[in-house]
Amino acid sequence: ELILIFFREVIYTKLGYIPNRQDIIDLGFRGIIRIVREMNLTFSNIISEAFKDANYIKQEKTTWKSFNSKEIDFFEKYGIQWEKLKSRWEWTTLYPSLIKEFFKEVIIPVKGRIPTLNEIKDMGYRGVIRVCYSDYDYYDLINDISNELYGKDYNFVRNIPIHKIDEIKGAVKNITSKFITKKQYPRSINYLSAKLGVSWTTFFEHTNEYLVDNYGSKKGLELFSLMWPYQDMKIQKIGIKVHILINDLFTLFLKELGTDILGAPIKFYREPLIFSNRFHPDGLILLTSNNLSFLKVIINFSIT
């Protein structure tokens, strides 16, 4: 049952359509295919059972409607026979050296600059970001492109515009308010910095500046360490394959059981400075006093 939920809540949510075998491999979940096989089940059986509800969207065959005119121009320029592609991003596997050119010739001209991570997703290019996280260091790629085009690192890493600093401090104000009033922990620094289109060092610098200015040096630094804790804690590093799974699924199940059974409340902390990985910048640390061994089976299941 957990595997079926994983397919629906994690894989389908990422893709927006019923996955095929290659989609799952591209997402970095090759291990789940092996688990299915070891359970003496077939991949098609799992897909049929997980998505028997007619409301789930099936993947459409690749047609000219799958690509916009700029993409088709790009394919024709480099001799890519897009009509024969089995999926929208198959070309990145066939021609990985063209990913950088795709950014330079298709994605960047939309904004006239290197767009933020969220802007790229909003353009409909979430898939190419996923490819970058699987096969490359996304930020190294972006910095290489920025150096080629502008002679400097990614445009928000240096010379931060005033409006961008205001956005950071506005976000931190909202985050701090939710933490103080609702004990709601924020997303990781890497996630938030990518969302705002700045480096983690820039976000870190102006976050601390805001907290110290508004709460004083001692209280401000204390708030920072409470919102993004990583020192003097019993920790378990967990990678991308369990990131969404724990947050979206097991929290619900564990709440139904009640926190007393674990001996401590369940809290999720993220510290990207130490625990991020190349597949996902939002490194996850699971922290409780007694529940690491309880979740060992789940963690092993998700990582294999």
In the predicted model, what is the mean pLDDT of residues 163-175? 90
Q: Out of 36-40, 69-73, 77-81, which region has the weakest mean confidence (pLDDT)?
A: 36-40
Distance (Å, whole) CA 60 – CA 17: 9
Q: Residue 242 pLDDT more than 60?
A: no
Residue 255 lies in a domain: yes
- 224 or 17: which leads in pLDDT: 224
Model confidence over 46-57: pLDDT tens digits?
A: 888 888 876 666
Report which of 131, 196, 194 is spatially closest to residue 161, judged by C-alpha positions: 196
Q: What angle do CA 197, 162, 152 make, to 5 degrees?
A: 55
Residue 266 lies in a domain: yes
Owner of token pair 């492109």: 145
**Dihedral sign, Cα of residue 229, residue 235, residue 238, residue 242:** negative
Range of the domain at 81: 64-149
In the predicted model, what is the mean pLDDT of residues 249-269? 45
**Residue 154 burial class via C-beta count within 10 angstroms: exposed 0-12, middle 13-18, buried 19 and up:** buried
Do 27 and 81 lie in a common domain? no
Model confidence over 151-168: pLDDT tens digits?
A: 665 544 445 666 788 899
Q: Out of 118-122, 155-159, 207-211, which region has the weakest mean confidence (pLDDT)?
A: 155-159
Distance (Å, whole) CA 57 – CA 63: 17
In the predicted model, what is the mean pLDDT of residues 109-118? 79
Residue 188 lies in a domain: yes
How crowded is the C-beta side of 105, counted as CA atoms within 13 Å?
15
In the predicted model, what is the mean pLDDT of residues 208-235? 76
Do 222 and 241 lie in a common domain? no
- Residue 303: what pLDDT? 41
Domain finish residue from 227, 262, 280:
227
Amino acid identity for residue 99 in this structure: I
Do 240 and 272 lie in a common domain? yes
Tokens of 37: 């096989």
Do 77 and 145 lie in a common domain? yes
Domain finish residue from 82, 115, 149:
149
Length of the chain: 304
Report which of 59, 64, 63, 72 is spatially closest to residue 23, judged by C-alpha positions: 59
Residue 297 lies in a domain: yes
- Residue 74: what pLDDT? 93
Owner of token pair 């993220």: 270
Do 255 and 291 lie in a common domain? yes
- Confidence tier at 174 by pLDDT (50, 70, 90): very high
- Confidence tier at 281 by pLDDT (50, 70, 90): very low
- 297 or 202: which leads in pLDDT: 202
Quote the DSSP letter at residue 237.
E
- Residue 168: what pLDDT? 92
In the predicted model, what is the mean pLDDT of residues 241-245? 47
Report which of 256, 263, 259, 266 is spatially closest to residue 287, judged by C-alpha positions: 266
Owner of token pair 């020192």: 231
Distance (Å, whole) CA 160 – CA 179: 27
Tokens of 240: 């991308």
Do 219 and 167 lie in a common domain? yes
Owner of token pair 């079926």: 4
Quote the DSSP letter at residue 277.
B
Secondary element (H or E) of residue 286: strand 284-287
In the predicted model, what is the mean pLDDT of residues 118-144? 73
Q: Out of 80-89, 189-198, 216-225, 249-258, which region has the weakest mean confidence (pLDDT)?
A: 249-258
Distance (Å, whole) CA 157 – CA 143: 9
Tokens of 90: 């198959």
Domain finish residue from 149, 176, 201:
149
Secondary element (H or E) of residue 268: strand 267-269
Do 68 and 127 lie in a common domain? yes
Distance (Å, whole) CA 93 – CA 131: 9
Do 220 and 243 lie in a common domain? no
Do 112 and 167 lie in a common domain? no
Q: Residue 175 pLDDT more than 80?
A: yes
To the nearest 10 degrees (0 to 180), the angle between helices 189-196 and 200-215 is: 100
Q: Are 142 and 114 in contact (CB under 8 A)?
A: yes
- Confidence tier at 230 by pLDDT (50, 70, 90): low
Do 194 and 243 lie in a common domain? no
Distance (Å, whole) CA 99 – CA 154: 17
Look over the chain and give the mean of its residue pLDDT values, rounded to a whole number.
70
Residue 154 lies in a domain: no
Q: Residue 1 pLDDT more than 80?
A: no
In the predicted model, what is the mean pLDDT of residues 62-79? 78
- Residue 301: what pLDDT? 41
Domain count, the chain: 4
Q: Are 136 and 95 in contact (CB under 8 A)?
A: no
In the predicted model, what is the mean pLDDT of residues 191-200? 81
Residue 156 lies in a domain: no
Owner of token pair 């890497």: 190
Do 184 and 242 lie in a common domain? no
In the predicted model, what is the mean pLDDT of residues 101-109? 90
Q: Are 102 and 63 in contact (CB under 8 A)?
A: no
Q: Are 186 and 170 in contact (CB under 8 A)?
A: no
Residue 6 lies in a domain: yes
- Residue 253: what pLDDT? 52
Residue 57 lies in a domain: no
Do 89 and 122 lie in a common domain? yes
